[in-house]
Amino acid sequence: MNTTAAAADVGTFKRVFQSLTLQKLIPAVLILVIGYFAVKLLTKIFEKALSRSRLEKSVHAFLRSLFRILLNTIVILMAASSLGFDVTSLIAVLSVASLALSLAIQGALSNLAGGIAVLTTHPFYVGDFVEIGTVSGTVREIGMSYTRLLSADNKEICVPNSEISSTKIVNYTHSGRRRVDLSVNVSYDAEPETVKAALLRAAALPEVQQDPAPFAAVNQYGESAVEYVLRVWVATADYWDVYYAVTERVRACFTEDGIAMSYPHLNVHLSTSETKES
């Protein structure tokens, strides 16, 4: 049956070409010429609309190419129709070819769809520090297929956009600041107020924001130590510098106040009983 259909299509094409006349060619050529200039004009209008939109620059080229292909396809179908071709059959053939192509490049299309989703929903921008699934880093480039991250140890990570659109994204840059959380274990012998005062003194850095003010408190009571928590807010760009600086200053402040930092240990108490002989 497929052979018969193919033979019929070939016969249709032969009849169309055999019946071509100057009267048919002139309208088709005019449609192509007018369509060429119309496509250029409409593409320029579309580009101006894109420039005024909030879409990322990376998606402009893709949408512009897609728009141009759509317009050119319409012009070609109009010209083919004026020549006597069965446009319905052509559309069917193009549909089958498009389906076969999409199945062949399914993975690439999935990444492309993910890229469009990222570029239109804006979960992050270039320069943001993000955590995507199990990787984190600064966004270097948002492409149509991959997003490139630069990790803290200067490794470039290429994440497929299909994974980005289907996983959790943590954007640390969006709000402009981050909270530094530090936990320390201190001996039960230390007074809580003394420990909290030492922690706040360790956090007295110019980069630490005062609104909200630095916070120190007892977090929980462990088996061999009391856990204290220190929380301060800083600008996103200062996060790691403040984190390491405060961590070092905590030890120094504890030493100044005679506060002993604890570690897991076990206290064993032995009791002796004296036996009296009667």
Q: CA 27: distance to chain centroid? A: 50
Q: 25-34, 65-74, 104-113: which has the minimum mean pLDDT? A: 104-113
- List the alpha helices (DSSP H) in 187-235: 192-202
d(CA 71, CA 241): 54
Domain 123-171 CATH assignment equals 2.30.29.30: no
pLDDT tens digits, residue range 123-176? 888 888 999 988 999 999 888 788 999 998 889 999 988 888 888 899 988 888
Out of 77-81, 118-122, 211-215, the most confident range is: 211-215
CB atoms within 10 A of CB 53: 12
Q: What is the pTM of this model?
A: 0.54
CATH 1.10.287.1260 region(s) of the chain?
A: 9-104
CATH 3.30.70.100 region(s) of the chain?
A: 177-257
Domain 177-257 CATH assignment equals 3.30.70.100: yes
Phi/psi zone of residue 176: left (φ > 0), alpha (ψ -120 to 50 degrees), beta?
left
Position 76 scores a pLDDT of 82
Contacts of 235 (CB under 8 A, 6+ apart): 176, 177, 178, 207, 209
Domain 9-104 CATH assignment equals 3.30.450.20: no
Position 100 scores a pLDDT of 64
Amino acid at 35: G
| Angle in degrees, 0-180, between the axes of helices 239-257 and 192-202, rounded to the nearest 10 | 140
Contacts of 190 (CB under 8 A, 6+ apart): 226, 259, 260
CATH 2.30.30.60 region(s) of the chain?
A: 123-171
d(CA 205, CA 161): 40
